[in-house]
A and B are shown apart, each in its own frame.
Chain A
Amino acid sequence: MIPVAKEVGSLRAIAAGGIVSPTGNPELPPEKEKQFRRELVLRALQTLQQEV
Chain B
Amino acid sequence: MSTKIRVVHYLNQFFAQIGGEDKGDVGPTVKAGVIGAGRALQQALGEDAEVVATIYCGDNFIAEQQDQAISELLRHIAEYKADLLIAGPAFESGRYGVACGAICHAAQQKLGIAAVAGMDEDNVGAGLYRRSIYIVNSGSTIARMVPTLQRMAALGLKLARREAIGKPADEGYLTRGVKRNEIAARPPAERAVDMLLAKLAGKEFHSEIAPPKFAGGKPAAPLRDLKSAVIALVTDGGLVVEGNPDKIEPGRPTRFTSIPIQNVDTLDADKFDAVHSGYDTASANQDPNRLVPLDTLRELAREGVIGAVHEFIRSTGGAHAAVENATQIGRQIADQLKAAGVSGVILTST
Interface residues, chain A, CB within 8 Å of chain B?
A: 1, 5, 7-9, 11-12, 16-17, 19-26, 33-34, 37-38, 40-42, 44-45, 48-52
B157 close to chain A: CB less than 8 A? no
Smallest Cβ-Cβ distance to A45: which chain B residue? B226
Question: Do A49 and B226 touch across chains, with their CB atoms under 8 A apart?
Answer: yes
Q: In the complex, what residues of B have CB within 8 A of residue A52's CB? A: 219, 222
A21-B284, A21-B290, A22-B291 known; 16 other A-B pairs, CB under 8 Å?
A7-B214, A11-B217, A19-B279, A22-B349, A23-B293, A24-B283, A24-B287, A24-B290, A38-B300, A45-B223, A45-B226, A45-B231, A45-B305, A45-B344, A49-B223, A50-B222
B125 close to chain A: CB less than 8 A? no
Q: In whole angstroms, what is the CA distance A7 to B231 when docked?
A: 24
14 contacts between A and B (CB under 8 A): A5-B349, A11-B219, A22-B348, A23-B289, A24-B287, A24-B290, A26-B286, A34-B295, A34-B296, A37-B293, A37-B295, A41-B296, A45-B223, A52-B219
B292 close to chain A: CB less than 8 A? yes
Give 9 closest A-B pairs by Cβ, nearest first. Answer: A24-B290, A21-B290, A23-B293, A9-B216, A11-B219, A22-B348, A48-B344, A26-B283, A52-B219
Q: In whole angstroms, what is the CA distance A45 to B229 when docked?
A: 10
